[in-house]
Structure 1
Amino acid sequence: MTLQDKKPPFQDLYLCFCGRSICQPDHSIGPAAHPNYVLHYILEGKGEYRINNHVYSLSAGQGFLMKPNIMSSYKADHTTPWKYLWIGFDGSYAKKLLSQIGLSSRTLTFSANCGDKLLEVINRMLECDADGISYHLYLQTQLYVFFYHLSQVLSVESNKLHSGQQNYYIRMAEEFVEKYYAQNIHVQDIADYVGICRSHLTTLFQDNLQMSPSEYITHFRLTRAHEQLAISNFSIGKIAEICGYQDSLVFSRAFKKMTGMTPTQYRRIRQEEYHLSIEKIRKKK
């Protein structure tokens, strides 16, 4: 069961859709990308969430965040398929709100013991029979109540997570690459930004991420290229430029080395899968 509506008259934070599902064994969605944030919370059972070559095994009492325009997929367990609720949202305040309650690009999964409360909110949204501005105001109120319940547990858990996260220098380096990957950056630029020598930075990357800073830049750029090839109609040359490659041939060679396919081949396959997955979602709703 789902609820979907046109974009409401709010800009800072607004509901896009919400719903709840009881999945069949091995039921999967994706790989696909959404234009807005989508947060899933598992009420019963278990399954897997896949994003950026990472696989998260999750069960009741846990959840996962899908960021806008980022390819990901999720699948119910074969023996104990999950039952979950989801809520799609966006707005100028959305990213900051998520950060404040402990969710970010590095913290996409969470645990929260407020499933009953979250389900009550979703049910109220789905059962709302108001119309006009009253309808939008009611949904807006429930959206904030939803995040209020999450904030009561996630704000505490995120502090615990951050206290044991990767080396501070690694986090700074990752932030630098995420911000400037489209530019002609080099390893020395990262070292200068972090404030340590290049050799020390390389050692930290090898010890913590099992790759060099140069390899990390390449991996990050090509991951972004995966997304652009799947969800945009930009030319290969334009995508190369967007992802920090000045030469489209160099980009194509790097992409094929990583995936075993040319950018054109990858685009054709992923866009076919994307359209099929969207069609599945529409049929399920």
Structure 2
Amino acid sequence: MYHADPSHYSFTDYNNSQPAQGELSLLFSGEGRPVGGHYIGPAVHNYYLVHTVMSGLGTFEIDGVRYVCKRGDTFIIFPDELFTYRADEKEPWHYMWVAFKGHLSEQLLHTLGFSPSRPIVHGDDVRPLASLYRKIRGTLETTPFPELADLEASGLLRVLLKELGLLNAGSLPANHAQAVIPDIGRQIRQAVRWLSYQYAQPVSIEELSRSLGYHRTHLSKMFKHVTGLSPMQFLLKVRMERAKELLNGQKHLSIDQVASSVGYPDALYFSKQFRKTFGYSPSEYRLQARGR
């Protein structure tokens, strides 16, 4: 469905309402044209997310390496891996994506030659991949029987991954990596994962630091070195982005329910934080997002 979002010139995303549980499960697929400088992250997902760049430029960072991406590049976000991607300021990219999970996913991508240390492949002709992305979205949008939609969309996902595997038969150019960012330890990644998954619970940075064996000041310094944000800033970002998803979701949750779902027992305080972050209240965002 279309979502009104000031960070995108256009944005569509279709969910699989009844994804099968098993070896390969398609979750959602979409297409976006973000404004220049729009970025996601630093963050982690608990699923695989594939983006193919149809035009424009951007950067993708994972596993301590930043890649410059252009038309024809496909980049893959892996579960529990810290990532960031950003649209170019002057020539922002247009991309399509699909998300999936399942116990066969890791083995399948490894077989096709993909990993967090090798997350990108290039193809000169984007039309075959664009056609598959559109077919997946069309299936999720129009099929009146969710179980059949899942069956067809999952089959198209396998074809898409096969095409990416064929493209990945060669090797990446040596100069594809733009810059290597030092890795300062698994503890920071663990902290990022914990904050990303436990955002709805009462969070104590002091306790988190102690559990990782660091003083709070030292952990905060290392955390900001890796993510560009303090732990509390990162937590706020995770909570606010999740709040936007819930406000724009199919279930019409009340503001109190959204606040509670993202770790704020006080809905008034949540609303103040939301306005401070985005410049408008949760109710105003919901009206804007659903205006079309």
Q: TM-score, normalised by structure 1?
A: 0.67
Indicate the SS of the match to 1:6.
coil
The question of 1:224 aligning with 2:155 is answered no
Q: Is 1:145 paired with 2:142? A: no
The answer to whether residue 224 in structure 2 is matched with residue 272 in structure 1 is no
1:1-285 counterparts in 2 under 5 A? Answer: 1-51=12-62, 54-128=65-139, 129-130=142-143, 131-154=145-168, 156-157=169-170, 160=171, 219-232=185-198, 233=201, 245=212, 248=213, 250=214, 252=216, 254-259=218-223, 266-279=230-243, 282=248, 283=289
**Cα distance in 1 for residues equivalent to 2:126 and 2:181:** 37
1:221: how far off? 2.5
Task: State which drifts further: 268-277 or 138-147.
Answer: 268-277
Asked if the contact 2:220/2:230 (under 8 Å) is kept, the reply is no
- Counterparts of 2:219 and 2:88, CA distance in 1: 32
Q: Percent identity?
A: 21
Given the superposition, is the C-alpha separation of residues 63 and 241 from structure 1 closer, same or farther in structure 2, using an over 3 Å criterion?
farther
CA deviation after TM superposition for structure 1 residue 276, in Å: 2.9
1:52, 1:223 within 8 Å by CA — same for their partners in 2? no
Q: Which residue of 2 aligns with 1:182?
A: none
Separation of aligned partners in 1, 2:147 and 2:76: 29
Maintained 8 Å contact 1:64/1:110:
yes
Q: Identify if the C-alpha distance between structure 1 residues 132 and 33 changes in structure 2 by more than 3 Å, giving closer, same or farther.
A: same
The alpha-carbon deviation at position 257 of structure 1 amounts to: 4.5
Structure 2 distance, partners of 1:257, 1:79, is 32
- Contact 1:43-1:85 at 8 Å conserved across structures: yes
CA-atom RMSD in angstroms: 3.3
For residue 90 of structure 1, report the CA deviation from its aligned partner.
Answer: 0.4
Residues in 2 aligned to 1:127 and 1:71: alpha-carbon distance in whole angstroms: 31
Q: Which has the higher helix share?
A: 1
Letter in 2 for 1:271: L
Q: Which amino acid aligns with 1:258?
A: M
Distance 1:44 1:222, change over 3 A: same
Cα 1:136–1:120 change in 2 (3 A) is: same
2-side partners of 1:80 and 1:98: how far apart? 30
Residue number in structure 2 paired with 1:198:
none
Equivalent residue number for residue 179 of structure 1: none
Q: Is the 8 A contact 1:30 1:277 kept in 2?
A: no
Gaps of 5+ in 2: 1-11, 175-179, 249-288
The count of aligned residue pairs is: 225
The 2-side partners of 1:45 and 1:73 are apart by: 17
Q: Distance in 1 between matches of 2:196 and 2:181?
A: 28
Local SS of the residue matching 1:275: helix
Distance 1:11 1:145 in 2: 18
Give the SS at the match of 2:75: strand
- Contact conserved, 1:41 with 1:84, CA < 8 A, in 2? yes
